[in-house]
Amino acid sequence: MAGCGCGTNDTCFDGMSTDYRRRLWLVIAINATMFGVEMAAGHAARSQALQADALDFLGDAATYGLSLAVIGASLRVRAAAALAKGVSLSLMGLWVLGATVHRVFVLGQPAAEVMGAVAVLALLANLASVLLLVKYRDGDANVRSVWLCSRNDAIGNAMVMVAALGVWGTATGWPDVIVAAVLAGLFLGSAAQILRQALRERRVAGAAA
C-alpha cells in the first residue's frame, strides 16, 4: 500500500482531474448498489458481518459524493470535508462494535450460504472499485480518504467470506461476530488516519491564510 499522502503542504493531488471524477461516479454507483444488496442479504441471513459491510458500502458512497462536491475547493474546505468523513467513519465503527456486542446475546446462527454468495459478489464489486481508484491512492486528505474506504471494502468482503466459511465449519455464529468486530477496528483505524492528515492540512491552511 502507498504511504499516507502528503498532508504537509497544498501541492498534493486534490482531485482536479476529469478522469478522477469519472472514476468516482462509477465507484459511487457500485457502492450504492451493493449497499442495498448486502443490507437485504444480511437481514435475511441474520449476519452482522454482512450488515456491517453493507454500512461500509453506504459510508463509502457518501464519502465519494462529498469528495466530488469539494474538488477544486480551498485546502481548508477539503480538510474540513475529510474531517467530517473521518468522524462519520469513527461513528460507523462504534456502531458496528455495539451491534456486534448485541449480536452475542441474540440467538440464531447466520446463514453461511447466503453470507458466502453475497460476499463473493461484493468482493468482485470492490475489486472493480480498487482498480478504478488505485491510480489515485495518494493525495490530500480528501483523496486519501476515498482510497482508504475503497481498500477497506475489499478487505472487508474477503473477511466476510472467511466468516462464512467459519460459520459453516463451526456451526456457530461466533466467526461472524469476530469478523464484524475486526471490521469495526478497521473502520476506526482508517478514520484515525484520515483525521490526522486532515488536521495537519487544516493547520497548513490556517498558517497560509
Taking only the tens place, the pLDDT of each residue in 131-189 is 999 888 888 888 888 888 788 778 877 877 787 778 778 877 777 778 778 878 887 88
Domain boundaries, the chain: 18-208
- 139 in the Ramachandran plot: left (φ > 0), alpha (ψ -120 to 50) or beta? left
The pTM assigned to this predicted structure is 0.66
> For 119-128, what is the mean pLDDT?
86
Q: What angle do CA 67, 69, 73 make, to 5 degrees?
A: 90
pLDDT of residue 21: 92
30 pLDDT higher than 90:
yes
Architecture per CATH, domain 18-208, reads as Up-down Bundle (1.20)
CB atoms within 10 A of CB 182: 18
Instruction: Give the count of alpha carbons within 13 A of 40, CB side only.
Output: 7
Joined grid coordinates for residue 130: 480498487
pLDDT of residue 1: 34
Q: Between 5 and 11, where is the model more confident?
A: 11
Sign of CA dihedral 115, 191, 181, 36: negative
50 pLDDT higher than 80:
no
187 burial via Cβ count (<10 Å: 0-12, 13-18, 19+): buried
Instruction: Name the average pLDDT for the chain.
Output: 79
pLDDT of residue 3: 39
